[in-house]
Structure 1
Amino acid sequence: MCVCVCVCVCVCVSRCRGCMSWLPSSFAWGNFCVLAVGVWAIAQRDSIDAVLMFLMGMVLTILTDIVHFGIFYPLNEYAVENRFRFSAGMAILSLLLKPASCFFVYQMYRERGGDYNVNFGFPSVSRNREAYQSIDQQDESSGPANPFNQAQDSKPAVRTY
């Protein structure tokens, strides 16, 4: 499967290079590699890692597409050619649809059981108190309620913590 995907990516990049000559080949390679990871994520229905890699790849290609368009978009060289206008329009449409695709991929990630919690190492306060045990209700047989009244009892009590 991996060999077939690599061959398809190579063919698509070489074909697409002719119609999008204003963009570098890194644009096509990045998008087609993320497409290959997306095919892998859909094919393996039980893999959470594949969906997470696809989501991170989509976010990365959004950023790199913006950089590619900002650097390589010609101002007035090819503006009259229909081929340029079509390829630029499709590339911009692809960029505009990627955030919606990221939303749906994130929903697929959540459905498969993924829970992405961001932790930057800062201490945080949690309001979930279900996992804690209360220390207010101690067992009556384990010892006196007040540890300072042990002198009144004939034997010392064992404290449980």
Structure 2
Amino acid sequence: MELPVVNLKMIILAHWLLTTWGCLTFFGAYAWANFTILAVGVWAVAQRDSVDAISMFLGGLAVTIFLDIVHISIFYPRPDITDTARFGAGMAILSLLLKPFSCCLVYHMYRERGGTLPLHTGFLGPPQEQSAYQTIDSPEAPADHYAGLEGKGHSPQGY
């Protein structure tokens, strides 16, 4: 199954808008969790080649699915809900419903950046070829990071 190509900025923008509207009804922990993960998503946009940034964004999206379910289920049932609060709750629920699809798209981006699962099960696509990636102990990597810097006032202990 081929996933559509969606820009990471569009995913973040859509969830930012829905989270902002969701904060009309849910605030506090809901806002902190979702806006923090969106900030990690901005980091993933800024660091286009970083596997760490995209994996943290993917993990954060997955965690906020659980947190949103708990938060909405605890704080939604109100007897005196207004139309504005109903709209905010609807946008928070829509954001929650879109997050699994966003996770699939972000996972695809994670794989494109070179990330792999520790245990590949096969149902998320074929394993990615990693023979083109340079290992840490390759001969091209410098053996000593601090070599030649001792005379310039730098030392490994001089943080």
Normalised by the length of structure 2, the TM-score is 0.59
Is the Cα contact below 8 Å between 2:23 and 2:31 reproduced in 1? no
Query: How far apart in 2 are the matches of 1:58 and 1:43?
Result: 18
User: Cα distance, 1:16 vs. partner?
Assistant: 6.6
Which one of 51, 56, 67 corresponds to residue 53 of structure 1?
56
1:32-71 residue pairs with structure 2 within 5 A? 32-71=35-74
Is the Cα contact below 8 Å between 1:17 and 1:25 reproduced in 2? no
User: Cα distance, 1:118 vs. partner?
Assistant: 3.8
Distance 1:44 1:89, change over 3 A: same
The Cα offsets for residues 5-56 of structure 1, whole Å up to 9 and x where unpaired, read as xxxxxxx9xx879722xx3401001000000000100110110000000000
SS in 1 for 2:106: helix
Query: How far apart in 2 are the matches of 1:47 and 1:18?
Result: 30
Aligned positions, number: 102
Query: How far apart in 1 are the matches of 2:100 and 2:22?
Result: 25
Which runs of 5 or more residues in structure 2 are unaligned?
1-16, 121-159
Instruction: Please identify the structure whose Cα radius of gyration is greater.
Output: 1
1:64-143 residue pairs with structure 2 within 5 A? 64-78=67-81, 81-118=82-119
Which runs of 5 or more residues in structure 1 are unaligned?
1-11, 120-161
Normalised by the length of structure 1, the TM-score is 0.58
Is the Cα contact below 8 Å between 1:58 and 1:98 reproduced in 2? yes
SS in 1 for 2:114: coil
Tell me the residue number matched to 2:24. Answer: 19
Query: How far apart in 2 are the matches of 1:86 and 1:31?
Result: 18
Highest RCO, 1 vs 2 (Cα 8 Å, sep ≥ 6): 2
Query: How far apart in 1 are the matches of 2:112 and 2:22?
Result: 37
Identity %: 56
User: Cα distance, 1:69 vs. partner?
Assistant: 1.1
Distance 1:113 1:85, change over 3 A: same
